[in-house]
Amino acid sequence: MVEETLDDVMAILHQHNIPLELEPSTRTGACGKITSLYIRDPDNNLIELANYPHK
């Protein structure tokens, strides 16, 4: 989970030339709907960055 908005996270990733593996999408998390995006780490593992929408 990230506390920042995914727009802020994407801006930081862009500043560091880190490509997105998958664009943000809505999924179901343990506590309801989440918005997730995915990147790869240096070992090529898929990393999910997500947050719950603000109410």
Q: What pLDDT does 23 receive? A: 84
What's the rounded mean pLDDT across residues 4-28? 92
What's the rounded mean pLDDT across residues 5-14? 93
pTM, two decimal places: 0.81
Q: What pLDDT does 40 receive? A: 96
Q: Enumerate domains of the chain plus CATH numbers.
A: 6-51 (3.10.180.10)
Burial class of residue 13 (count of CB atoms within 10 Å of its CB; 0-12, 13-18, 19+): middle
Q: What digits encode the pLDDT tens for the residues 25-44? A: 888 877 788 999 999 999 99
Q: What pLDDT does 54 receive? A: 65
Active site residues: 48
